[in-house]
Structure 1
Amino acid sequence: MDYGFLGWIVVGLIAGVLAKWIMPGKDPGGIIVTILIGIAGGLIGGYIGSMVGLGGGNLVNILLATAGAILLLWIYRLVKARQA
C-alpha cells in the first residue's frame, strides 16, 4: 500500500507519539516539537524505506516511521544538550 506524502504525515503523527512513549523525558520543545519530529521521522523513514524496497504493510510503515522519529529525537536531544 502506497501512502504518499499525506499518509506519511499521519503515520508520522503516530510515530511521534510512539517515539515520545519509547524515549520518555523532558524534551526541550515539549510534546508539540516531539510530534513534529515524529512527522519528519515518518517522512524520512518512509522515503528511506521506499528507496530500499521496504514498506507495504501498515506495521512496517509505522515501525519505519517510529525508527526515524526516535533517531531524529535522539539527535535533537544531543544538539540541544550541547547548546545548553
Structure 2
Amino acid sequence: MSFLWAIVAGLVIGLLAKLVLPGRQPIPLWLTVLLGIGGGLAGNALASALGVRDTGGIDWIRHFLQIGVAAVLIAVCAPGWARRGR
C-alpha cells in the first residue's frame, strides 16, 4: 500500500512542481510522477538535514522543499526530453 501512496504523492508533487515552473514542460505523466517521487524523497532528506522534517501541525516547510526539489528536477529534465523527440 505504501507503494501506491508513493505514486499518488509523486503525482501530486510533480504536478504542483510543474505549476510552479514558468512555461510548458513537455514531459509525459509517468516522468512527472517519477520526478515527483524523487523530489519527495530528496525533499524529505533535505528537511531532515535542516531539522524541519517533523514540526507541530502541517509540515509546510517540508512540503515546499519537496515541491522545490521536484521543480528543479523537472526544469533539468524537460529540455532534454523535448530535444529527444526531434
Give me the TM-score of the superposition, normalised by structure 1: 0.69
1:5-20 residue pairs with structure 2 within 5 A?
9=6, 11-20=9-18
Alignment of 1:67-82 (within 5 A): 67-80=68-81
The unaligned stretches of length 5 or more in structure 2 are: none
Partner of 1:63: 64
Q: In structure 2, do the counterparts of structure 1 residues 32 and 54 end up closer, same or farther at CA, with 3 Å as the change threshold?
A: same
Number of positions where the alignment pairs a residue of Structure 1 with one of Structure 2: 78
Of 28, 35, 38, the residue aligned with 2:36 is 38
Structure 1 runs (4+) greater than 4 angstroms displaced? 81-84
Q: TM-score, normalised by structure 2?
A: 0.68
Matches of 1:65 and 1:71, distance apart in 2: 10
**Identical-pair percentage:** 29
Q: CA RMSD in A?
A: 2.6
